[in-house]
């Protein structure tokens, strides 16, 4: 049986400044936050730690956010995922596919605001 999880969040973004910035905002709010730079590392992290929320960029080299999302849900179906991107045009098809598959819990556009991140974290990571 899995131990009760409270506030464990993984940030996945190939842009280091964004990933580190988001994880620091979350840590300042009292969450346990980790950061990885790609989908492959995110899948490995999810296998090792029972994160209850993943903030993930959609447009990344290698596995994109949707492909990574599918793998995360296979390994940890109860993990919430909030996808975000600054490239809405490039990501529109991926977002629509994710919604169609019922996979996207929430979507945030970059540049994000700290209060959006904190609100989503409280909504999903402390549920």
The pLDDT-based confidence of 103 (bands split at 50, 70, 90) is low
Angle at Cα 29 formed by Cα 24 and Cα 33, nearest 5°?
50
φ, ψ of residue 61 to 5 degrees: the values are -65, 155
Most confident region among 63-67, 86-90, 106-110 by mean pLDDT: 63-67
Mean pLDDT of the residues in the chain: 82
| Per-residue confidence (pLDDT) for residue 22, from 0 to 100 | 92
Domain positions in the chain: 8-122
Query: Taking the mean position of all CA atoms in its chain, how far away is CA 32?
Result: 14
**Model confidence pLDDT, tens digit, residues 5-43:** 358 999 999 999 989 999 999 999 999 999 999 999 999
- pLDDT at residue 99 above 60? yes
Dihedral Cα 14, 18, 24, 28, nearest 10 deg = -140
Alpha-carbon distance of 43 to 113, in angstroms, equals 26
| Per-residue confidence (pLDDT) for residue 60, from 0 to 100 | 86
Helices 65-75 and 39-48 cross at an angle (nearest 10°) of 10
The pLDDT-based confidence of 119 (bands split at 50, 70, 90) is confident
The pLDDT-based confidence of 54 (bands split at 50, 70, 90) is very high
| Per-residue confidence (pLDDT) for residue 107, from 0 to 100 | 62
Query: Residue 50: CA atoms inside 13 Å, Cβ hemisphere, count?
Result: 8
Q: What class has domain 8-122?
A: alpha beta
The SS3 of residue 36 is strand
Task: Please count the other Cβ atoms lying within 10 Å of the Cβ belonging to residue 55.
Answer: 29
- pLDDT at residue 98 above 70? no
Q: Of 41, 40, 48, 38, which is closest to residue 8 (Cα–Cα)?
A: 48
């Amino acid at each position: 049986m899995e131990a009760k999880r409270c506030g464990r969040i993984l940030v996945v973004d190939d842009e280091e400044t964004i990933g580190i910035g988001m994880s620091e905002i979350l840590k300042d709010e009292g969450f346990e936050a980790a950061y990885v730079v790609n989908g492959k590392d995110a899948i490995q992290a999810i296998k090792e730690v029972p994160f209850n929320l993943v903030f993930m960029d959609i447009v990344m080299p290698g596995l994109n956010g949707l492909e990574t999302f599918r793998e995360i849900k296979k390994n940890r179906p109860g993990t919430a995922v909030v996808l975000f991107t600054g490239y809405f045009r490039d990501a529109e098809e991926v977002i629509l596919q994710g919604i169609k598959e019922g996979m996207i819990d929430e979507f945030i556009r970059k540049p994000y605001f700290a209060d959006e991140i904190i609100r989503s974290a409280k909504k999903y990571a402390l549920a």
